[in-house]
A and B are shown apart, each in its own frame.
Chain A
């Protein structure tokens, strides 16, 4: 079945450090890939997405590239800020059989950025 695996957290960085959060997936069809962010006490917000191989999603300085050969969608940011502290979820939605749009999430990675 489809699944998403994220690196374990928490990840603690100093402000302006480089961020990478690893995400790999298993899918039987042709998934769309997403990164969602959850700030404390809030719901999830879409951060970026990619719908086909080699697509790069980007938003607010974050980016991720859909790598079919390594089944990965790693999240990166060149210089993190304290306001980026949140939980980040990698997710997939299978565009194959059923095509319901339901999301399958990784376990989430907590990012703490210290001033």
Chain B
């Protein structure tokens, strides 16, 4: 158990809908990262928050957004969903933003868009 929790575990929805994925980092970790794992794109970095502020952005679509709340949990919002958004979404946390810090991954949320 990494100490990072993600809900829900599975999500099935229809095209055009909007969903919210939730992540609670390990106790004491200030950084939250979101990654998308799909068959065609592999594992890709989406976005990072550190202590409530956006720190880095990767290949995140404009239809996607995220935030980190004062209690440090984070939410990833996906809107106007398309079939191609079906993927496993991972959240990871680390104590800081350094390249030397280990990232601890949650079990993921599997999103299926029908």
* With known contacts A44-B90, A104-B45, A105-B42, A99–B33 Cβ distance under 8 A: no
| Of A7-15, A60-68, A78-86, A88-96, the one touching chain B | A88-96
User: Are A100's CB and B103's CB within 8 A?
Assistant: no
Q: Does B19 make an interface contact (CB < 8 A)?
A: no
User: Are A99's CB and B97's CB within 8 A?
Assistant: yes
Residues of A within 8 A of B58 (CB): 102
Nearest-neighbor residue (CB-CB) of A44 within chain B: B105
How far apart are the CA atoms of A27 and B58 in the complex, in Å?
A: 16
Nearest-neighbor residue (CB-CB) of A92 within chain B: B99
* With known contacts A103-B33, A105-B43, A43–B97 Cβ distance under 8 A: no
Residues of B within 8 A of A95 (CB): 98-100
Residues of B within 8 A of A51 (CB): 99-100
Nearest-neighbor residue (CB-CB) of B31 within chain A: A101
User: Are B105's CB and A49's CB within 8 A?
Assistant: no
Residues of A within 8 A of B94 (CB): 101
Residues of B within 8 A of A107 (CB): 42
Q: Does A22 make an interface contact (CB < 8 A)?
A: no
Q: Which parts of B50-71 form the interface with A (CB within 8 Å)?
A: 55-56, 58
Instruction: Bin chain B's interface residue count.
Output: 20 to 34
Nearest-neighbor residue (CB-CB) of B2 within chain A: A43
How many chain A residues touch B (CB < 8 A): the figure is 25
Q: Does A32 make an interface contact (CB < 8 A)?
A: yes
Residues of A within 8 A of B42 (CB): 105-108
For A101, give its contact among B101, B104, B107 (CB under 8 Å): B101
A104 vs chain B, min Cβ distance (A): 7
How far apart are the CA atoms of A4 and B20 in the complex, in Å?
A: 30
Binding site for A on B (CB under 8 A): 2, 4, 31, 33, 35, 42-45, 48, 55-56, 58, 90, 92, 94, 96-108
